[in-house]
């Protein structure tokens, strides 16, 4: 691993930031599925599959219910794209930092909600911030990567593993391990969430705060190559 002082990439694009963010992706996904309505907030493939399944079964109420997280995820993508462009030339407020502050506020708010509060509140807000995270953090030290789901990481791990073995490709030898590490951190986040949900129920979401604070502190520090 590169020494921090020698890493030319902005902190928003460094390995440690991506590992922390995908850990959050696993944490939030397990949280909403376990204790907040049985839907996934970190990605929408499963929700879309469930949506069309319920349509086909004639379960209109459940199908309409799934439109809530799906719409929130779409809205988060649109808003994050807009704000990222608006703040791209702002010297004092950077979008990735603002997003982490917003995420922390959302997690605190959701953690204080009573268990009796409608699950849709949590689903909408977590889908919203997961979507913004996915759309904002795209490049991991020059490699396109997702921070909220692992489907592509599974493919890339297998693909680069074969290339590294059969073609003796040095770059692929690095990339399959990096993608595999993203899968591992996603799984770790899910395990932590499942454990905390078991003992703390809806309050388990507070477990995301240390991770968010870690990312926020990293982003607020200047990387050597950045001129904020």
- The whole-angstrom distance between residue 38's C-alpha and the CA centroid of its chain comes to 18
Render the burial of 5-40: b for 16+ CB within 10 Å, e for the rest: eebebbbbbbbebbbbbbbbbbbbbbbbbbbbbebb
pLDDT tens for residues 30-56? Answer: 999 999 988 888 878 888 998 999 999
Residue found by looking up tokens 């979008």 in the block: 95
Domains of the chain, residue spans: 14-142+189-220
Is the pLDDT score of 29 beyond 50? yes
To the nearest 10°, report the CA torsion of 123, 154, 210, 135: -60
Number of neighbours of residue 84 by Cβ within 10 angstroms: 17
The pLDDT, as a whole number, for residue 192 is 97
Six token digits for residue 168: 């003796």
Overall pTM surpassing 0.85 (yes/no): yes
The pLDDT, as a whole number, for residue 3 is 46
pLDDT tens for residues 86-135? Answer: 887 777 778 999 999 999 999 999 999 999 999 989 989 999 999 999 99
Six token digits for residue 139: 């490049």
The pLDDT, as a whole number, for residue 39 is 81
In order, the DSSP letters of 89-112 are T-SS--HHHHHHHHHHHHHHHHHH
């Amino acid at each position: 691993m590169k020494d921090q002082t020698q890493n030319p990439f902005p902190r928003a694009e460094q390995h440690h930031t991506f590992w922390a963010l995908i850990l959050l992706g696993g944490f939030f996904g397990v949280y909403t599925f376990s204790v907040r309505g049985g839907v996934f907030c970190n990605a929408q493939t499963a929700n879309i599959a469930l949506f069309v399944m319920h349509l086909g079964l004639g379960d209109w109420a459940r199908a309409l219910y799934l439109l809530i997280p799906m719409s929130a995820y779409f809205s988060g993508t649109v808003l994050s794209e807009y704000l990222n462009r608006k703040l791209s030339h702002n010297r004092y407020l950077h979008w990735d930092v603002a997003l982490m502050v917003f995420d922390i506020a959302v997690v605190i708010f959701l953690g204080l909600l009573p268990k009796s509060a409608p699950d849709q509140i949590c689903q909408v807000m977590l889908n919203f911030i997961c979507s913004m995270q996915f759309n904002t953090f795209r490049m991991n030290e020059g490699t396109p990567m997702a921070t909220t789901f692992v489907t592509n990481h599974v493919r890339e791990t297998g693909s680069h593993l074969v290339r590294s073995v059969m073609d003796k490709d040095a770059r692929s030898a690095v990339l399959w391990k990096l993608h595999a590490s993203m899968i591992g951190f996603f799984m770790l986040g899910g395990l932590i969430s499942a454990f905390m949900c078991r003992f703390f129920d809806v309050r388990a979401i507070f477990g995301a705060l240390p991770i968010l604070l870690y990312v926020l502190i990293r982003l607020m520090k200047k990387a050597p190559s950045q001129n904020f």
